[in-house]
């Protein structure tokens, strides 16, 4: 059974039970207030039949009875009757005198009541002098006495009291009241049902549909909820879960794409030297290298390609170790400026060969101590400097190295006046295997791992690395290292 149906059922039962209870209560109340009992076993009828009049009314009735017994003709005197009627009216009762079949006197308040047919027949033995009667919708209790005006002329006196002046009103009002109550209950029930449906059932439905979408592998939909209640929070949490799932799937796809790219790059970069090596080896085997000079040249070429391959495999190995956090760092305290100078010194021959001028930017405060892995940091600097060497083609070739301090970090900048990097390529140069020149030909550079390795190493030191460059305006690569101690 669905929640929706259960709710509907419970609302309906609340409505029905309430209406029944209200009807019973209202009916009992009306009976208690008015004494109109019709349907409940005549209890009140018996009560009023035994005690139709109050004590005052009864004593007036006894007076009238006395008169009827001893001086009946006086009961034809209108003035006397009016006097008695007046007294009865004070206690809210009325007087009726019957002479044979006609009404001799009828209290004015009962003028609109057709008593003739309703009054009981003569019972001159006066066996039942107290009773009740219904005239139309009205209900009366009475005490009566039958007598003879003369031997041929029968008479009756009635002291009458209306017992349920509100009965009719209640009887007509009750169905309207019950109807209104039922309508109000139905309306409330319907509104509640709609409220609950909107607040609970619909969001639950949306959740179910979303779960189905997820099962089918669709994570692109969105769930919204403006309410802050438990259901609203559930919907929001569910949507958050969907978003995270979506993100992790995207990441997974990205990794997958990366893996494919990596494989294809490695295959390409290994295939090229292997093909060359194979070519030269075949040349030797087929006797193409038929002079000692040629043979020397062939063997030399094979050696160079094999060295390139070795270097590539080494770089790859280092990169993947850094990537997996498997390469241990051995940090030591080192002074940055002398360290950088020693690295530049090691490359001095290359700079001389290429006629590169290296200059140092004085900042006034350049003796920073940092905690670093000497070997790895050297690898970073060598990678950056060899990029400058590799990509600067036209003279004059100039490299400027600068250092400054900012917020507890030493910032090292290596700037060249080479061809610069296109803005489209700039965001990608630290990605593994990325090279601005897409053909991946050996002439214009290496495998594209140099900056990726530098980035891994700098991040392993808790620093940052970045680049600023514009085409034809040189390139600046900077990296930061946390200053360990300032010995100034
Ligand atoms: N100083 C620079 N001037 C111009 N372009 C640069 C410079 N440094 C890097 N680049 C661009 O960034 C790319 C990535 O550099 P990275 O050092 O990672 O790879 P690589 O030099 O091509 O190969 P590897 O360093 O592995 O031998 C280079 O291919 C080049 O296009
Ligand atoms: Mg490089």
Average pLDDT for 107-127: 84
Angle at 299 (CA atoms; ends 295, 302), nearest 5 degrees: 145
In the predicted model, is pLDDT for residue 340 greater than 70? yes
Shared domain for 310 and 340, answered yes or no, is no
Shared domain for 75 and 148, answered yes or no, is yes
Give pLDDT tens digits for 429-450.
998 888 877 554 445 557 788 9
CB-ligand 1 contact for 418 (6 Å cutoff) = yes
CB-ligand 1 contact for 399 (6 Å cutoff) = no
* Packing angle of the helix pair 230-285, 202-215 (nearest 10 deg): 10
CB-ligand 1 contact for 388 (6 Å cutoff) = yes
In the predicted model, is pLDDT for residue 167 greater than 70? no
Give pLDDT tens digits for 243-278.
999 999 999 998 888 788 878 878 887 888 899 999
| Residue nearest (by alpha carbon) to ligand 1 atom 31 | 436
Q: Of 45, 137, 48, whose CA–CA distance to 93 is shortest? A: 48
Average pLDDT for 273-285: 91
CA 267 – CA 72 distance, rounded (Å): 140
Give pLDDT tens digits for 72-83.
988 889 899 999
Cis bond leading into 396, ω under 30°?
A: yes
In the predicted model, is pLDDT for residue 29 greater than 80? no
Sheet of 153-162, strand order = 102-106, 94-99, 153-162, 138-150, 130-135
Question: How long is the chain?
Answer: 488
Per-residue CA distances from 403 to 329, 346, 364, 376, 487 (Å): 23, 20, 9, 19, 16
Please tell me whether residue 86 adopts helix, strand or coil conformation.
helix
Shared domain for 139 and 234, answered yes or no, is no
Shared domain for 230 and 159, answered yes or no, is no
Shared domain for 249 and 374, answered yes or no, is no
348 alpha carbon – ligand 1 mean position (Å):
20
Closest ligand (CA of 391): 1
Mutate to test the pocket of ligand 1, among 266, 268, 450 (most ligand atoms within 8 A of CB): 450
363 alpha carbon – ligand 2 mean position (Å):
28
pLDDT at 178: 81
Q: Of 188, 182, 133, 190, whose CA–CA distance to 156 is shortest? A: 133
Q: Is residue 208 part of a domain?
A: no
Shared domain for 388 and 280, answered yes or no, is no
| Residue nearest (by alpha carbon) to ligand 1 atom 19 | 448
CB-ligand 1 contact for 417 (6 Å cutoff) = no
118 alpha carbon – ligand 2 mean position (Å):
124
- Which of residues 326, 351, 374 is at a domain's end? 326
Phi, psi of 438 (to 5 degrees): -75, -15
Pairing mode, if any, of strands 397-406 and 356-361?
parallel
308 alpha carbon – ligand 2 mean position (Å):
13
Mutate to test the pocket of ligand 1, among 380, 430, 451 (most ligand atoms within 8 A of CB): 451
The answer to whether 238 and 210 are in contact (CB under 8 A) is yes
Mutate to test the pocket of ligand 1, among 383, 413, 429, 467 (most ligand atoms within 8 A of CB): 429
Residue 399: pLDDT band (50, 70, 90) is very high
CB-ligand 1 contact for 445 (6 Å cutoff) = yes
Shared domain for 352 and 432, answered yes or no, is yes
Closest ligand (CA of 452): 1
CB-ligand 1 contact for 391 (6 Å cutoff) = yes
Inter-residue long-range contacts of 73-80, CB under 8 Å, 24+ positions, other chains counted: 73/149, 75/104, 75/149, 75/155, 75/157, 76/104, 76/149, 78/105
Domain enclosing residue 387, as ranges: 332-485
CB-ligand 1 contact for 155 (6 Å cutoff) = no
The answer to whether 351 and 392 are in contact (CB under 8 A) is no
Average pLDDT for 118-138: 84
Closest ligand (CA of 421): 1
Residue 94 CB coordination number (10 Å): 22
CA atoms within 13 A on the CB side of 225: 24
- What CATH number should be reported for the domain holding residue 152? 3.30.450
253 alpha carbon – ligand 1 mean position (Å):
27
Closest ligand (CA of 477): 1
How many domains, the chain? 4
Q: Which residues of 298-318 are buried (b: 16+ CB within 10 A; e: fewer)?
A: beebbeebeebbeebeebbeb
Residue 6: pLDDT band (50, 70, 90) is confident
Q: What share of the chain is helix, strand, coil (3-state, %, to 5)?
A: 55, 20, 25
Question: How high does pLDDT run on average in the chain?
Answer: 84
Mutate to test the pocket of ligand 1, among 309, 386, 445, 465 (most ligand atoms within 8 A of CB): 445
How far separated are the first and last CA of the chain, in Å rounded?
81
Q: Is residue 212 part of a domain?
A: no
CA 443 – CA 446 distance, rounded (Å): 8
pLDDT at 233: 87
pLDDT at 37: 52
Ramachandran region, residue 124 (left: φ > 0; alpha: ψ -120 to 50; beta: rest)? alpha
Please tell me whether residue 34 adopts helix, strand or coil conformation.
helix
Residue 35: pLDDT band (50, 70, 90) is low
Shared domain for 410 and 479, answered yes or no, is yes
- String of DSSP letters for 260-304: HHHHHHHHHHHHHHHHHHHHHHHHHHTT---SHHHHHHHHHHHHH
Q: Is residue 211 part of a domain?
A: no
Give pLDDT tens digits for 172-214.
677 888 888 888 888 888 888 888 888 888 888 889 999 999 9
Q: Which residues of 334-372 are buried (b: 16+ CB within 10 A; e: fewer)?
A: bebbebbeebbeebeeebeeeebebeeeeeeebebbbbb
- What CATH number should be reported for the domain holding residue 228? 1.10.287.130
pLDDT at 245: 93
Atom from ligand 1 closest to the CA of residue 416: 1
Shared domain for 244 and 110, answered yes or no, is no
CA 471 – CA 171 distance, rounded (Å): 100
Closest ligand (CA of 453): 1
The DSSP H or E segment spanning 160 is strand 153-162
Find all residues with CB under 8 Å of 465, minimum gap 6, and list them. 430, 451, 454, 455, 458, 459, 477, 478, 479, 480
Average pLDDT for 1-11: 76
pLDDT at 440: 44
The answer to whether 18 and 181 are in contact (CB under 8 A) is yes
- What CATH number should be reported for the domain holding residue 470? 3.30.565.10
Residues with CB under 5 A from ligand 2 (ion): 387, 450
Q: Is residue 405 part of a domain?
A: yes
CB-ligand 1 contact for 415 (6 Å cutoff) = no
Residue 148 CB coordination number (10 Å): 14
| Maximum C-alpha span of the chain | 178
CB-count burial class (<10 Å; 0-12, 13-18, 19+) for 455: buried
Per-residue CA distances from 446 to 271, 281, 311, 350, 432 (Å): 14, 24, 10, 17, 12
CA 187 – CA 157 distance, rounded (Å): 56
Residue 39: pLDDT band (50, 70, 90) is very low
In the predicted model, is pLDDT for residue 290 greater than 90? no
407 alpha carbon – ligand 2 mean position (Å):
29
Q: Is residue 424 part of a domain?
A: yes
In the predicted model, is pLDDT for residue 56 greater than 90? no
Q: Is residue 210 part of a domain?
A: no
The answer to whether 75 and 81 are in contact (CB under 8 A) is yes
Residue 38: pLDDT band (50, 70, 90) is low
276 alpha carbon – ligand 2 mean position (Å):
22
CB-ligand 1 contact for 72 (6 Å cutoff) = no
Atom from ligand 1 closest to the CA of residue 432: 18
Q: Is residue 72 part of a domain?
A: yes
| Residue nearest (by alpha carbon) to ligand 1 atom 8 | 387
Shared domain for 353 and 479, answered yes or no, is yes
Q: Is residue 296 part of a domain?
A: yes
In the predicted model, is pLDDT for residue 401 greater than 90? yes
CB-ligand 1 contact for 454 (6 Å cutoff) = no
Q: Of 377, 379, 373, 370, whose CA–CA distance to 331 is shortest? A: 373
385 alpha carbon – ligand 2 mean position (Å):
9
Shared domain for 458 and 339, answered yes or no, is yes
Give pLDDT tens digits for 344-396.
999 899 889 889 899 988 666 657 888 899 999 999 999 999 999 988 888 88
The answer to whether 298 and 469 are in contact (CB under 8 A) is no
Shared domain for 320 and 343, answered yes or no, is no
């Amino acid at each position: 059974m669905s929640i929706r149906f259960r709710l509907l059922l419970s609302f309906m039962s609340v409505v029905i039970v309430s209406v029944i209870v209200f009807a019973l209560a209202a009916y009992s109340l009306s009976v208690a207030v008015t004494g109109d009992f019709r349907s409940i076993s005549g209890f009140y009828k018996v009560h009023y039949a035994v005690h139709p009049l109050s004590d005052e009314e009864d004593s007036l009735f006894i007076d009238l009875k006395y008169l009827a017994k001893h001086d009946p003709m006086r009961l034809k005197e209108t003035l006397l009757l009016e006097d008695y009627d007046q007294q009865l009216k004070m206690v809210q009762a009325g007087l009726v005198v019957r002479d044979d079949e006609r009404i001799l006197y009828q209290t004015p308040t009962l003028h609109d009541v057709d008593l003739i047919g309703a009054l009981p027949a003569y019972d001159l033995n006066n066996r039942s002098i107290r009773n009740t009667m219904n005239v139309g919708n009205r209900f009366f209790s009475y005490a009566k006495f039958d007598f003879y005006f003369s031997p041929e002329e029968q008479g009756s006196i009635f002291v009458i009291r209306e017992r349920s002046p509100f009965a009719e009103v209640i009887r007509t009002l009750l169905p309207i009241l019950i109807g209104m109550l039922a309508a109000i209950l139905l309306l409330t029930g319907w509104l509640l049902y709609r409220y609950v449906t909107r607040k609970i059932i619909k969001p639950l439905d949306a959740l179910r549909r979303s779960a189905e979408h997820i099962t089918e592998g669709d994570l692109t939909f969105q769930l919204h909820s403006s309410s802050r209640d438990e259901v609203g929070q559930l919907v929001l949490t569910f949507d958050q879960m969907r978003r995270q799932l979506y993100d992790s799937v995207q990441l997974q796809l990205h990794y997958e794409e990366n893996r494919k790219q990596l494989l294809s790059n490695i295959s390409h970069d290994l295939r090229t030297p292997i093909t060359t090596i194979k070519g030269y080896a075949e040349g030797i085997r087929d006797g193409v290298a038929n002079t000692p000079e040629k043979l020397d040249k062939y063997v030399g070429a094979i050696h160079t390609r094999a060295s390139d391959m070795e270097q590539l495999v080494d770089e790859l190995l280092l990169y993947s170790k850094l990537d997996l956090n498997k390469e241990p760092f051995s940090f030591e305290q080192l002074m940055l400026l002398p360290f950088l100078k020693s690295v530049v010194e090691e490359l001095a021959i290359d700079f001389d060969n290429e006629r590169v001028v290296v200059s140092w930017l004085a900042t006034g405060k350049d003796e920073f101590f940092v905690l670093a892995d000497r070997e790895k940091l050297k690898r970073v600097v060598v990678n950056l400097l060899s990029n400058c060497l590799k990509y600067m083609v036209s003279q004059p070739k100039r490299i400027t190295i600068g250092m400054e301090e900012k917020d507890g970090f030493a910032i090292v900048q290596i700037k060249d006046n080479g061809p610069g990097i296109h803005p489209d390529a700039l965001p990608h140069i630290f990605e593994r295997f990325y090279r601005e020149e897409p053909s991946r030909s050996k002439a214009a550079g290496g495998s594209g791992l140099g900056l990726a390795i530098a980035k891994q190493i700098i991040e392993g030191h808790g620093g940052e690395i970045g680049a600023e460059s514009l085409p034809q305006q040189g390139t600046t690569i900077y990296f930061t290292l946390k200053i360990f101690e300032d010995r100034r």
